[in-house]
Chains A and B, each alone.
Chain A
Amino acid sequence: MVEIQSGIGTAIPPAETEDMELYHPKSWWTKYVFSQDAKIIAIQYSLTAIAIGLVALVLSWLMRLQLAFPGAFTFIDAERYYQFITMHGMIMVIYLLTALFLGGFGNYLIPLMIGARDMVFPYANMLSYWVYLLAVLVLAASFFAPGGPTGAGWTLYPPQAVLSGTPGGQDWGIILMLSSLILFIIGFTMGGLNYVVTVLQARTRGMTLMRMPLTIWGIFTATVMALLAFPALFVAAVMMLFDRVLGTSFFMPALVEMGTLLPHQGGSPLLFQHLFWFFGHPEVYIVALPAFGIVSDLISTHARKNIFGYRMMVWAIVIIGGLSFIVWAHHMYVSGMNPAFGFFFATTTLIIAVPTAIKVYNWVLTLWRGDIHLTLPMLFALAFIVTFVNGGLTGLFLGNVVVDVPLSDTMFVVAHFHMVMGIAPIMVIFGAIYHWYPKITGRMLNETMGQIHFWITFLGAYAIFFPMHYLGLMGVPRRYHEMGETIFNPPSAHMLNIFITVMALVVGAAQIVFLFNLAWSLRKGKPAGGNPWRATTLEWQTPQTPPVHGNWGKELPVVYRWAYDYSVPGAAEDFIPQNQPAPDRLSRGALA
């Protein structure tokens, strides 16, 4: 029994508390399938998310083929095209990015990085995954339901989402979509509560909040936001489900469809948009903040230099998280809401640029005069900075009401959000997988395949989305099944579309290299050892690699310093692990 003495003499409960009773699996099933170990759950979450993400990737191929060669693929009619758009967006944003960052990286990294043995409630954590899997299956089932999946666009705007003119509107599509979302939120809540309480209440001795790696800060803040933002989507989904199934009129005004008056009356479609974007905008940062956190750690580790302005980075994450709850209506400038709102929401939106810019400057200043190792994680981290800055700058265009109005519903918007919350976070996901794969499997990913994967993905993604800005400025609309030969749509726009499609096919195919690498390196990869990147954070200091159930062997680690003691002058090595107790005055953490 270890008792902790704090400054004012009150006893803090020892790190190994009564609460931490690990469930020890007794059979193969409870060890690998119905596992309560956060690390196994993380892998289950990640593989499921990647699997459904591949479906969304193929859907994007089909959309691009239709846009470049309209009419060449007869099975892609207008209805199918809308279904592909909808499912691509919904899967990528929620079932891939949210699940992979929070369910995948959150589960794997939180206990390891803060020095806990597991999540605080492993059983609820396990349920979280199985409910998520159910949500994915319900979503996938809509591909096989009569009428196919919903084609309402990923925003599911009423009234069109539940009308017969929209694919799946009067069939099973929209019902399965909304049910799947409700399930996802229930599943996520069980996991999310775990992540938050683990970070708040289960850190090891010496792990103060201001010594946590930024990865944990990002995931933690994003999870808190998700717990507050998903309720709005939950309510919107329930109400729309009632509109569709029970015939209520929450979002449905009086409508005439094909000459017949529908039974709905008096509902407000705008109400749905407010609820949806109260979730939808924080969702952008739910995806972005974990990426911000992870990329900070990747840059610091692979540039062998402490992160620049750690405190500012933490506060920037928290402030971005807070601000993102009061900007939602910048998605609705053209919705017909009171124009005076536009002024308020444009102002708050542009204020977010301040903490975000601080983060970008700090990443660059961390690189400044660093000992940059161009490893695969570092390459992806650099790619993230470039794509994120690009997407962020176009965000300034779209955040201003006057500039946004002509750009609304053009390819410019598509280019913007793919850059900022598609490509940028996915770059971080790839970098993170290359970074932590050695810890998860004990083997390095193959470098050559990784280089091929990186260069094709990075340059290819740029080739896809950069020209899209020009299409948008020309006025090429988004969500159009065929461009048509309109006056504002010159032949060059069509050529650009073909170019983008070819690049999309190439980039998509390059992911096969990545998937093959994941499988191949599992057996044939170079053995990694415990700490191949010579990193400071706790997950690299586990007694075994991969870490076993319970993570830490007999005793929990004790933390003596912050996570960024790289290249400390006078130190023997160019990194000092967080749990190294050297009685030195070199560590910034001791003074922080």
Chain B
Amino acid sequence: MTETTQTQTSGLLPRPGGLRGVAADWASDQRTFKSVSWGKAMMWIFLLSDTFVFGCFLIAYMTARMSTVVPWPNPSEVFALTIAGHEIPLILIAIMTFVLISSSGTMAMAVNFGYRRDRRKTAALLLVTALFGATFVGMQAFEWTKLITEGVRPWGNPWGAAQFGSSFFMITGFHGTHVTFGVIFLLIIARKVLRGDFDVERRGFFTSRKGNYEIVEILGLYWHFVDLVWVFIFAFFYLW
């Protein structure tokens, strides 16, 4: 049974062109973003809010680094690893960054196969993404351990400004927490995909809403965001 209803705005007025047309589309009834589902809209707005959180963290760190009167430890030396007798600066961070960026690639593929309703490939790619994410967190734990054994603490370090350790642990810790939550949700969604929840529209345990493959894309938004944030942390903390 399909009936057609004219909305009040549509029939009465000619659709204006140019910017006015854009404004009229946005301001029209029901949905501001026409093809965007509620879940996706909510994730985008959450990410905007989260951008401000990371932005404040990074600006606070940069303020501390610029205003300190004692020398700031040299990141190239602090984050160097000695491999086979050669000291290679930033090698671990480079590998971590490579792993995380790769995970964005597998995530994007998972989204693609999700929309093709390819249950197995989607789940496999989500698991690979989760594995990359867990590897990243593992390497971060290694890095933390190394620095802690070298005497870096939140309240001080052997090489200079105390804010180096505090900013490092706070920012990478907060980012690592984001990655960890991402991995947990990747595993949950991978399980749901594998079980076929989204093919039969099984209802969520908490929300009792019908599930569908779009959740893979929404999770993907979050995952790409966390990767993007890492690029900024990499640039501002390690390369500066």
A interface residues with partner B (beta carbon < 8 Å): 1-8, 10, 12-13, 15, 18-19, 21, 23, 120-123, 189, 193-194, 196-197, 200-211, 227-228, 230-232, 234-236, 238-239, 242, 246-250, 263, 265-268, 271, 275, 278, 558-561, 589-590
Contacts and interface: CB of A to CB of B under 8 A. Distances in A.
Interface of B: 1-15, 26-34, 36-39, 41-42, 45-46, 48-50, 52-53, 55-57, 60, 63-64, 67-70, 154-155, 161-163, 165-166, 170, 174, 206-210
Contact of B8 (A193, A206, A228): A206
A222 B12 CA distance: 32
Nearest to A228: B52
A149 to B, nearest CB: 26
A12 B34 contact: yes
A278 B53 CA distance: 12
Contact of A248 (B57, B67, B166): B166
A120 B155 contact: no
A201 B56 contact: no
A236 B60 CA distance: 9
Given A12-B31, A263-B155, A235 B53 contact: yes
A236 B165 CA distance: 17
A235 B57 contact: yes
Given A3-B4, A4-B30, A208-B27, A248 B162 contact: yes
A208 B28 contact: yes
Max chain B C-beta neighbours (<10 A), residue from A12, A196, A197, A267: A197
Given A3-B4, A208-B9, A238-B174, 16 more contacts: A7-B13, A13-B30, A15-B30, A121-B42, A189-B49, A193-B42, A193-B49, A227-B49, A228-B49, A231-B49, A248-B163, A248-B170, A266-B161, A268-B63, A278-B56, A590-B12
16 contacts: A5-B7, A6-B28, A21-B209, A121-B42, A123-B206, A200-B31, A200-B41, A227-B48, A231-B56, A249-B166, A250-B64, A250-B163, A275-B56, A278-B56, A558-B5, A561-B8
Contacts of A196: 45
Given A1-B1, A206-B7, A120 B52 contact: no
Contacts of B41: 197, 200-201
B224 to A, nearest CB: 19
A200 B45 CA distance: 11
Contact of A121 (B38, B70, B210): B38
A189 B41 CA distance: 14
A208 B9 CA distance: 8
B40 to A, nearest CB: 9
A23 B60 contact: no
Nearest to A200: B32
B43 to A, nearest CB: 9
A228 B49 CA distance: 5
A265 B15 CA distance: 63
Contact of B163 (A206, A211, A249): A249
A239 B170 contact: yes
A202 B38 contact: yes
A323 to B, nearest CB: 17
A13 B134 CA distance: 40
A230 to B, nearest CB: 8
Contact of A267 (B48, B64, B170): B64
B2 to A, nearest CB: 5
B19 to A, nearest CB: 16
Nearest to B165: A248
A193 B174 CA distance: 21
A1 B56 CA distance: 47
Contacts of B46: 189, 193
B166 A205 contact: no
Nearest to A589: B8
Contacts of B170: 238-239, 242, 248
B48 A201 contact: no
A542 to B, nearest CB: 19
A8 B15 contact: yes
A562 to B, nearest CB: 11
B106 to A, nearest CB: 27
A242 B154 contact: yes
A234 B7 CA distance: 43
Contacts of B53: 231, 234-235
Contacts of B163: 248-250, 266-267
B12 to A, nearest CB: 6
Contact of B52 (A10, A12, A231): A231
Closest A-B pairs by Cβ, 5 of them: A248-B166, A231-B52, A235-B56, A209-B27, A247-B155
A32 to B, nearest CB: 18
B112 to A, nearest CB: 23
Given A210-B27, A242-B154, A201 B6 contact: no
A123 B15 contact: no
A265 B48 contact: no
Contacts of A197: 38, 41-42, 45
Contacts of B55: 231
Nearest to A233: B56
Given A19-B37, A197-B45, A247 B161 contact: no
A209 B10 contact: no
Nearest to B37: A19
A23 B208 contact: yes
Nearest to B55: A231
Contacts of B5: 2-5, 205, 558
Nearest to A246: B154
A234 B174 CA distance: 12
B33 to A, nearest CB: 7
B75 to A, nearest CB: 18
B42 A205 contact: no
A5 B30 contact: no
B208 to A, nearest CB: 5
